[in-house]
Every structure is written in C-alpha cells, then in structure tokens.
Structure 1
C-alpha cells in the first residue's frame, strides 16, 4: 500500500474534531477543533487544512446507534462526507464512531475532546487495514 496522509473528522453540529495521520506509521494524532459558526467558515477552515496537509483520503466518523443501526445523526455524517468529497474531490471513508467520545473522555480525564475522538476514529481506520 502506498503511503497516504489522511485527515479524519468527528462531525458535530457545532464543532468538528480533526485528526491526522499516515498509512506508513498508522498512528493518528489530534489536530484541532473547528468551532466556526457558519458552514462557509467551517469549509474555509477545512480547505486550509487540506492545502496544508494535502491528504489523499479523508475519514469521517459515522454516528450509529448502539445496536449498529442508523440514527438521525447518521444522515448528517453521511451528508457531511458527501459534501467533503464533492467540494474537494478527495475520497472519503466512513468509519463507525460508536464509543469514540467516551474513549476520548477516558483519555483526557475530562469532557470529551472532539480532536481526540477524531484521532480514535482514524486509529480505528488504520487498525482495520492490518
């Protein structure tokens, strides 16, 4: 598999957690939390990150119900993924994000950090590659 840089997103209505990593090291790390209030502001910040990191692929956490079924938030995650791929032309992969916020809270010891949750989602993607 060729080396690829990836950015991952923990999608939320008010904020986006962002993480990055590459397929060579297969280690994800938190990058930032996007708190832009407007959709245009969010996509402008994402565009700046894409220009800086030049990822070959994007990963978006897919919010699923505890039983693995779709829920209302699943539609929003799928829509966000389609918007990313449509706007920027970078392939997007959806990864089950169940439990990532709880895991992030355990890691940080306080309220969940969306960038840490994004790193957990990306690490799940890497772990599935092996």
Structure 2
C-alpha cells in the first residue's frame, strides 16, 4: 500500500510518498505548476513510477472549518485528477500544516531561500503522515 501525498498550491505541488507498508511519509519533490494537463501528467507519472495505490491531498480549510477560495481550487484540481485515474483520491485536513513545517525550518535556522525550495514537499509529507497515522489508529 504505497500512498502519495499532495500539497496543491497555485504555483507548486508538493509531493510525498509513503513507504511500501504505508507507515511513514517521505518528501519527494516539488512540481512547478505549468498547465493543468502537464501538472496531471507529472503527478500521475510519479504515481505510476512508484506504484502508488491511492492519493491523499491536503484540503486547505479555514480555521473554523469553512471552505475558502483555495479549498475550491484544490477540489477542482482533484475532480480533474479523478477523471484521469481509477485510484482512490482522498482529502485530508491540512490546516496549519505549512505553518508547522515553516516553524520547524525556521527553528532549524534554514535560510529563507532554502525553505522556499523544500516547504511544499515537506508539507505534503506532513499531510500524508497525518493521514497514515489516522489509518493505523483506526486499525
């Protein structure tokens, strides 16, 4: 059970993968967005290359749980993705994921330029790890 985690933004898509057992998440890459079609090809190409069985994407809700314009943007992207694959595509509440990752990188004294390079794929790993942990807890 290899799961792909996505942190979908307007400029980039952070990508993470679980280990084959579906226990731990590792950051993989950050896709620079171009066109919807090319973005989909890159995501699904990575999924095929790594024998992914399902995809989970962070859902950027407001702190009160309501939807934002970014929530709708992500949901539209995922609807298009679902049209191109038979794999299950799920969402996971990503509130504060990027903030948590940024805080860790700042505490680790990483330079701002380097943080920009890694924050999206680390946020994807953070989202994916939360999802994997919830599956294990549910048993």
* TM-score, normalized by the shorter chain, greater than 0.5: yes
1:51 aligns with 2:48: yes
Deviations 1:31-81 (A, max 9, x none): 100003222221221122022012111001001001111111111111122
1:99 aligns with 2:96: yes
Aligned to 1:15: 12
**Superposition RMSD on alpha carbons, in Å?**
1.6
TM-score, with length taken from structure 2: 0.84
- CA shift at 1:14, angstroms? 0.9
- Is the helix fraction higher in 1 or 2? 2
Could you list the structure 1 runs, at least 4 aligned residues long, displaced by more than 6 angstroms after superposition.
none
Question: SS at the partner of 1:94?
Answer: strand
Deviations 1:4-46 (A, max 9, x none): 1000110101110000004725111101000032222212211
1:35 aligns with 2:32: yes
What is the rounded CA distance, in whole Å, between the counterparts of 2:87 and 2:134 in structure 1? Answer: 20
What is the rounded CA distance, in whole Å, between the counterparts of 1:52 and 1:26 in structure 2? Answer: 19
Residues 74/80 of structure 1: CA separation in 2 closer, same or farther (3 Å cut): same
Is the 8 Å Cα contact of residues 22 and 28 (structure 1) preserved in structure 2?
yes
Aligned to 2:74: 77
1:26 aligns with 2:23: yes
What is the rounded CA distance, in whole Å, between the counterparts of 1:122 and 1:100 in structure 2? Answer: 10
1:121 to 112, 127, 136: 127
